[in-house]
Amino acid sequence: MTHPGTEVTIRAAIVADAGAIAAFNCALALETEAKALEPNTVLAGVQTLLTRDGLGFYLVAGGGSGARGLFAGHLRME
């Protein structure tokens, strides 16, 4: 059953998603491990992964547009 406005799109992350992904990674570390990560370091790591082949990838899923409709997906390391 599909409800109006609940459609979700899954796609490979792009560099423009890096800020949202980094923010979600920082929030997850704080919530699950009580670790406050340095946001600029996390952002640099996410940007590196997204721009260098063979390091891995993120998938993002969302409905709507912008960070408000974006959810961090999974990371796969090769």
9 vs 13: which has the higher pLDDT: 13
When mean pLDDT is compared over 2-6, 15-19, 63-67, 73-77, the highest value belongs to 15-19
Global pTM reads 0.78
What are the pLDDT digits (tens) for 11-64?
888 999 999 899 989 999 999 999 999 999 999 999 999 999 989 888 888 776
What is the rounded distance in angstroms from the CA atom of residue 59 to the CA atom of residue 35?
24
Mapped to the 3 state alphabet, what secondary structure does the chain carry? CCCCCCCCEEEECCHHHHHHHHHHHHHHHHHHHCCCCCHHHHHHHHHHHHHCCCCEEEEEEECCCCHHHEEEEEEEEC
Determine contact, residues 50/18, Cβ cutoff 8 Å.
yes
Q: Which residue has the higher pLDDT, 74 or 72?
A: 74
pLDDT at position 65: 56
Domains and CATH numbers, the chain: 9-77 (3.40.630.30)
3: nearest Cα among 70, 69, 63, 60? 63
